[in-house]
Amino acid sequence: MQTRSVNDGVERAPLFYSSRPFRLWRYGVGHSQLLLRSLPVDGEPCLDVLFEGVRWIQMPTSLHSLTIELTGQDAGHAPPPTSQAGGKTLTLRLSAANDSGTIECSKVSAYTSSWTVSSVEEPNIIETLFIAPADLDS
């Protein structure tokens, strides 16, 4: 995994990278949750990225691949609003070959799940790939 420069000058590896395509799958206003999903392909399970405590979104509805990085206010994007008092806020840059976006949230996690096209019930998590901000403290 390549490291990338964040606005503070510190080199960091991306929080997450996948070459699989992702789509905006669901946004729940009541819980302020946004779900990006990559459908199962070639025997690989469904891959989900869940953003919680979403306060600000600027992104396309589909991405040909997905890289998630911590960022400051990107010069090319309108700055997100000031964080609400009492909670840690992550400003994340989502990028792909076809487009990019920014999400401000309190938590992000990626996991593989048992979801299939014919699923009726909520999927079971097979493996958690990362959770931030917990993974940022290490």
The secondary structure of 2-54 as a DSSP string is --EE-TTS-EE--SEEESS-EEEEEEETTTTEEEEEE--BTTBPEEEEEEES-
pLDDT at 80: 44
Q: What is the pTM of this model?
A: 0.76
pLDDT at 120: 66
Domain, as residue range, for 61: 4-137
pLDDT at 108: 93
pLDDT at 103: 94
Rounded average pLDDT per 10-residue block, the chain, 138 residues: 40 85 91 92 90 93 93 46 59 90 93 80 78 61
How many domains does the chain contain in total? 1
pLDDT at 1: 32
